[in-house]
Amino acid sequence: MTVAKEYLEYPLRRYGMDQNFYEWSLLVNRPKVTWPNGARIALWITTDLELFPLDQPAKPFKAPGGMVTAYPDLRHFTTRDYGNRVGIQRIWRLLDKYKFKSSVAMNSKVAERYPYLVKKINQRGDEIIAMGVDQGKLHFGGMDDATEIAQVTESVNTLRKLSGQPVRGWMSPAKSESWNTLKHVKNAGIDYVCDWVADDMPFEIKAPDNAGKLWAMPHTSEISDRKIIIDNKHSEDEFVEQIQDQFNGLYKETEKYGGRIMSLSLTPYISGLHYRVKYLDQALGWLASQKNVWVATGSEILDAFKKQ
Amino acid sequence: MKPDLDLYDYWPYEGRPKITWPGGKKVAFWVAPNIEFYELNPPINPKRTPWPRPHPDVNLYSNRDYGNRVGHWRMMEVMDKYKVRGSISLSVALIEHHPEIIKECVDRNWEFFSHGIYNTRYSYDMDEAQERAIMEDSIETVMKATGQRISGWLAPALTHTERTMDLLAEYQFLYTCDLFQDDQPQPVKVKSGRLISMPYSLEINDIIVYNSYNATPRRYGQMIKDQFDLLAEEGKDSGTVMCIPLHAYAVGHPHRLAAFEEALEYITARDDVWVTTAREIAEYYYDNYFDKCAADIAARKGV
């Protein structure tokens, strides 16, 4: 085998990024941000309400948390669905205890199947972020454009219709996008996306074909129960510790660099388990006891950021 | 394919010529921030795909970019606090993409060495002209931007050919970070000229610790301290080298920084450590130990 001549050609070797989605910008060079009431940390708690279909396709890849065994994989289907039935109400009970708002990234299929959840979200004053149709309907490079437009439209329209919310945020299932996802979600009226984790603060991101600009919100893939407890297999104590360390690390730099966003990503079938809830209680209670924290939804944080 | 590239001879640890670092120090300690650029849509190498998901793998791409936009500064500020100069393993194209980062490192008198052009372009299956081209590109581009003639090499994404080491010696590189057989520098067998292996690490490398061992940040801090303690103890017999390879997209997250800082504080407060750069270690080794060690290896071959 040999390497083609083009392998040593670098047409995008230039100042800034090698793509046209967003501009290069050092976080430390940006103006200081102040949050409402002088808060230093905007705490953005998100929960995922997901449906992993039994017939989830294996290609191009399976969303994390997806089916594992041969069909019908009832054990994974039901352990995931446990989060939508049992786990989420435990998380909500804790969020109520500390009067924390949250944003809920939701497959539109979950809203259709479980209207109760939509009602509860609206009662709590939480924000719905569109998370595609279900965890089997991925967005990925090379997918058919018409299929993607249909998936985006179904997700956003269904969630808007069932919740009455404007639905301004988008998170792709498995945070996977095609080359055109930004264009299609922009055309569907989405203001911000959660798939790009390049920053601790929002940054502008361009939809291709001059479809306009959106914001990339810093939805964490790190301070998440999926990453820390499932992928890394850390203990619940260590999950709490890393939440605290993240907060302390961000807080420390706010004096010099201005307000920061702390994103905490929770999955009901992971954090909502019996033996984990008390640790989540510890973490949320600790966060509630910190000074200068503003707990808000993604849209509220973005709006406050844009006003600066 | 060959069973072994015969890059070095077996050399028992026991009874080697004694190394003493400047000032009588026991451990030569260096920190290697990998400042890397990963392309969103690179061409495909026959042996390795750059991203696990179909392009564009926006989530992982942006995870890597976090290091440059956000994490680098945090890591650099901690290193400043403990007066540790970095020896940068550089994706050379980053000089064009992010000159602001390069300038900060030049201002701090950090060392640059090459980690290929992009971390998404692999050396596997390159012909000799192609591999020469990435070495020449590295030497010229870094020289032009920083005035430094690079001395070291860590192959892009640790991808090599059978001739990599020979070419490095021919281009008068002083050291390679690609070989992990020892805790001391030592001669690498090359066709012509000289080359040494510089102890880097695939153990207390933040990517290995976080992504392969899935360690907690606090455990990582403890691993660094434990490793230092042992190398300092063994360094009493003959000086050792300890490198902490870092990636701002891993160590530069807020929840991971404090543990790293604590480890750096621990090491830099010791009186048996030489806090230095890879180039300085290599130069000191060539000046004082290369010939002695080469003679000892030759004398003990097969014994």
Residues A231-282: pLDDT tens digits? 999 999 999 999 999 999 999 999 999 999 999 999 999 999 999 999 999 9
pLDDT surpassing 80 at residue A1 = no
Instruction: Look at the block and give the residue holding tokens 């949050």.
Output: A35
Per-residue pLDDT tens over the stretch B147-163: 999 999 999 999 999 99
Q: For residue A271, what are the domain limits?
A: 32-306
A249 vs B47, B127, B254: nearest CB:
B254
Which candidate, B29, B86, B9, places its Cα nearest to that of B235?
B29
Residue A53 lies in a domain: yes
Distance from CA of B192 to the nearest CA of A (A): 26
Give the integer Cα–Cα distance in Å for B42 and A4: 13
Strands A212-216 and A203-207: antiparallel
B62 vs A2, A16, A197: nearest CB:
A197
**Minimal-distance CA residue of chain A relative to B62:** A198
B130 vs A3, A60, A242: nearest CB:
A3
**Stated length of chain A:** 308
Cα distances (angstroms) measured from residue A92 to each of A5, A130, A149, A281, A284: 57, 19, 33, 11, 12
Best A1, A2, A5, A10 member to test B by mutation, with max B CBs in 10 Å, is: A10
Distance from CA of A267 to the nearest CA of B (A): 18
Give the integer Cα–Cα distance in Å for B26 and A162: 68
Distance from CA of A176 to the nearest CA of B (A): 7
* Contact residues, chain B, for A140 at CB < 8 Å: 53-54
Per-residue pLDDT tens over the stretch B57-90: 999 999 999 999 999 999 999 999 999 999 999 9
Per-residue pLDDT tens over the stretch A30-68: 999 999 999 999 999 999 999 999 999 999 999 999 999
**Minimal-distance CA residue of chain A relative to B215:** A232
What is residue A210's predicted lDDT score, i.e. its pLDDT?
Answer: 97
Backbone phi, then psi, for A225, in 5-degree steps?
A: -65, -30
Distance from CA of B231 to the nearest CA of A (A): 28
* Contact residues, chain B, for A221 at CB < 8 Å: 59, 63
Distance from CA of B274 to the nearest CA of A (A): 29
| A238 in contact with B, Cβ within 8 Å | yes
Q: What is the domain count for chain A?
A: 1
Residue boundaries of the structural domains of chain B: 22-300
Per-residue pLDDT tens over the stretch B196-238: 999 999 999 999 999 999 999 999 999 999 999 999 999 999 9
Beta carbons of A60 and B62 less than 8 Å apart: no
Say whether pTM exceeds 0.90.
Answer: yes
Q: A302 and A215 in contact (C-beta within 8 Å)?
A: yes
For chain A, positions 89-148, list CB contacts with chain B under 8 A: 140-142
A3 vs B125, B214, B257: nearest CB:
B125
* Contact residues, chain A, for B216 at CB < 8 Å: 232, 234, 238, 241-242
Percent of chain B clearing pLDDT 90 (strictly above): 98
Beta carbons of B125 and A232 less than 8 Å apart: no
What is residue B119's predicted lDDT score, i.e. its pLDDT?
Answer: 98
Give the integer Cα–Cα distance in Å for B9 and A217: 53
Which candidate, A48, A46, A43, A45, places its Cα nearest to that of A267?
A48
Beta carbons of B66 and A232 less than 8 Å apart: no
Residue A25 lies in a domain: no
Which candidate, A13, A11, A21, places its Cα nearest to that of A204?
A21
Residue A138 lies in a domain: yes
Least confident of B39-43, B46-50, B83-87: B46-50
ipTM, 2 decimals? 0.97
Q: A14 and B138 in contact (C-beta within 8 Å)?
A: no
Beta carbons of B254 and A246 less than 8 Å apart: yes
Give the integer Cα–Cα distance in Å for A180 and B28: 50
Taking residues B25-44, report their average pLDDT.
97
* Contact residues, chain B, for A170 at CB < 8 Å: none
Q: B137 and B92 in contact (C-beta within 8 Å)?
A: yes
| A187 in contact with B, Cβ within 8 Å | no
What is residue A2's predicted lDDT score, i.e. its pLDDT?
Answer: 84
Give the Cβ contact number of residue B224 at 10 Å.
22
Give A128's DSSP letter: E
Which residue type occupies A244? Q
Give the integer Cα–Cα distance in Å for A91 and A94: 5
Residue A146 pLDDT grade (very low, low, confident, very high; cuts 50, 70, 90): very high
**Strand partners of residue B113:** B89
* Contact residues, chain B, for A231 at CB < 8 Å: 214
* Contact residues, chain B, for A2 at CB < 8 Å: 46, 125, 127
Those residues whose C-beta lies under 8 Å from the C-beta of residue B226, and which sit 6 or more positions away, are: none
3-state secondary structure labels for all residues of B236-287: CCCCEEEEEEEEHHHHCCHHHHHHHHHHHHHHHCCCCEEECCHHHHHHHHHH
Best A6, A28, A223 member to test B by mutation, with max B CBs in 10 Å, is: A28
* Tokens read off for A193: 């996306």
Residue A10 lies in a domain: no
pLDDT surpassing 80 at residue B303 = no
* Tokens read off for B75: 């890591």
Note the Cα A161 to chain centre separation in Å: 21
Residue A9 lies in a domain: no
**Strand partners of residue B186:** B197
Give B22's DSSP letter: G
* Tokens read off for B292: 């002695």
Look over chain B and give the mean of its residue pLDDT values, rounded to a whole number.
97
What DSSP line would sit under B225-237, residue for residue? HHHHHHHHHHHTT
What CATH superfamily is the domain B22-300? Glycoside hydrolase/deacetylase (3.20.20.370)
Taking residues A149-174, report their average pLDDT.
98
What b/e readout covers B110-136, taking b as 16+ CB neighbours within 10 angstroms?
bbbbbbbbbbbbbbbbbeeebbeebbe
Which CATH number belongs to the domain containing residue A65 in this structure?
3.20.20.370
**Strand partners of residue B32:** B245
